[in-house]
Structure 1
Amino acid sequence: MMNRLIELDFHKDMGELFKFLKSNKTRTYRNGNYFKVVYLKPPDRLIEPIQNRQLMVKPTKFLDVGSGWQVVRDLPIAQAPKNLEEVIEDLELEELRAKRQANPLCHVQLLYWMKVGLYTYEDTSCFVRLFYRHGYSAEDCIEVFSSLVRRDELLPFFLKELTKIY
């Protein structure tokens, strides 16, 4: 089951950014200088968690308010308004840019194969060894190989290498 709620916790100093929420009433809580509003997450929309001193955006499956929060508006949980989605998207992009690193997501050679595919016996052998060295199962290796191979005649060689190594 995917996350179906958005918990938005913010400090009262950020109230100006979220003033539009006053006209989009939903269940709301207060804990000192912080507010928590809960909305239904739009379907098919990825919401990334965000957390800093004055703001927390938390996608969640179930509402777990915790202690210290007092109900301010005991209303049914409403659908997230479009302008909230836009603000969250801006905050997500800001957070993403701040956390961007120059670390590769995957092995450089694997990225190359993802772009151009597997064409040679040498590439095939290197591919099997790379997957084995990084702890992937033979099944994982087969699945990825089948999506990357560009020459059917590499299949017998791939199976031979797979059997030899795994």
Structure 2
Amino acid sequence: MNTKLPAPIPRLTMITLGVSHMRASIAFYEALGFKRRLAASGEAVAFFETGGTALGLFPWDQLAQDVTLPQDPRPRGFRGMTLAWNCSTAEEVDAVLDFAISKGASLLKPAHKTDYGGYSGYFADPDNHPWEVVVAPGIEVGDDQRVHLPD
């Protein structure tokens, strides 16, 4: 019998980052203002509200083991993905970058006008996960702090 199952509804619910030092990474993301949830998990795993998709932190070696990939060598270069902090104005982009740097982030690329009419810069968290801080034409950040994309 060939019964077709309905297609699942696609959704991205959690981004989990492998980190080297749980305590330091938890402190960094709390310092950025992300609200920690399920704190009873201690330093085994950490979850943060982000205004949309949740952010998880998990020890790098354990995450590699869980997905059955080698944990070494750890990439020092670009990993093929970025996280984004969308903003409403260029001034907000500058403020977020300055704030992140003041909390221990590394500046990867200063804010600048983009070729598509936006304004963006990049910082890296303590494990070198890159974050773009950006305002982009047509992408609105609503009062609900969520990104709203046009059709």
Is the structural similarity TM-score above 0.5? no
Larger radius of gyration: 1
Q: TM-score range by the shorter chain?
A: under 0.3
Query: TM-score scaled to structure 2, two decimals?
Result: 0.24
User: When you count strand as a share of all residues, which structure comes out higher?
Assistant: 2
Query: TM-score scaled to structure 1, two decimals?
Result: 0.23
